[in-house]
C-alpha cells in the first residue's frame, strides 16, 4: 500500500441514512505527496431517488434535472471503476474526507448494492480531516471553533467553488489537508 497517495471522497446524498436515502453524487480527488489532481464527480440516479427536502435544500440539487443527467447505477459503477483503475493499480485505496464515515457509509452501501466488494479495493484505513482538526484544536495549534469544514475553510482562506457540491467540497477538503500537514510540521 502506497501511503503517499490518498483518494479524497465527498458525497451528496438524499438524506442522512445510507440504507434508505440515495447517493446522488460522489466526487474523488487524488492527493499524491501534496499535489491534488484528477478530480472527478459522478452523478448517480439509482432508479429510486429516495431524497428528503432538507437534503436537497442543503446540496441545492434539483432532483428533476438530476434524474435526467445522472448516470444509472451500473453505468456510474463502470465509470468509477475505470477512474480507480487508471489511478490506482491493484493497490488498496486509502480514503480521506471530512467526517468521512458519512461518505464511506453511503459509498460502501452503493458499492455493495451493486455487487462490488468494497474491502477488496478499499483499505480499512481512512483519514478524517475533522479528527485532525479536533486534535490540532485540543493541542492548541488552531482555534477551538475551527473543527467544522466551513470554519476550517474560512480559517485557512480556502475558496470553495460550488460549496455543498461533491466536487467543490472534495477539492476544498484536499486543500485543507495540505494546510493541516503544514501546521503539524
Query: What pLDDT, in 10s, does the model give residues 93-124?
Result: 999 999 999 999 999 999 999 999 999 999 99
Q: The domain 5-184: what is its CATH number?
A: 3.30.420.10
- Closest listed residue to residue 100, CA positions, set 170, 155, 32: 170
Residue range 10-36: mean pLDDT, rounded:
97
Q: What residues does each domain of the chain span?
A: 5-184
Question: pLDDT band at residue 1, thresholds of 50, 70 and 90?
Answer: very low
Q: Which runs of E-coded beta strand occur in the chain?
A: 5-13, 23-32, 35-45, 71-72, 93-97, 122-128
Which pLDDT score, from 0 to 100, does residue 3 have? 58
Amino acid at each position: 500500500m502506497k501511503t503517499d497517495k490518498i483518494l479524497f471522497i465527498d458525497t451528496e446524498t438524499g438524506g442522512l441514512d445510507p440504507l434508505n436515502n440515495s447517493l446522488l453524487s460522489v466526487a474523488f480527488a487524488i492527493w499524491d505527496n501534496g499535489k491534488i489532481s484528477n478530480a472527478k464527480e459522478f452523478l448517480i440516479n439509482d432508479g429510486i431517488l429516495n431524497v428528503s427536502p432538507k437534503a436537497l435544500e442543503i446540496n441545492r440539487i434539483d432532483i428533476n434535472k438530476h434524474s435526467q443527467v445522472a448516470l444509472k447505477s451500473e453505468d456510474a459503477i463502470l465509470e468509477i471503476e475505470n477512474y480507480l483503475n487508471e489511478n490506482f493499480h491493484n493497490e488498496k485505496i486509502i480514503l480521506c474526507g471530512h467526517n468521512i464515515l458519512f461518505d464511506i457509509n453511503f459509498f460502501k452501501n452503493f458499492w455493495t448494492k451493486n455487487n462490488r466488494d468494497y474491502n477488496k479495493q478499499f483499505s480499512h484505513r481512512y483519514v478524517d480531516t475533522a479528527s485532525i482538526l479536533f486534535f490540532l484544536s485540543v493541542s492548541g495549534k488552531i482555534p477551538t471553533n475551527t473543527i467544522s469544514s466551513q470554519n476550517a475553510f474560512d480559517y485557512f482562506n480556502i475558496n470553495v467553488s460550488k460549496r455543498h457540491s461533491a466536487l467543490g467540497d472534495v477539492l476544498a477538503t484536499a486543500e485543507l489537508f495540505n494546510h493541516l500537514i503544514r501546521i503539524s510540521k
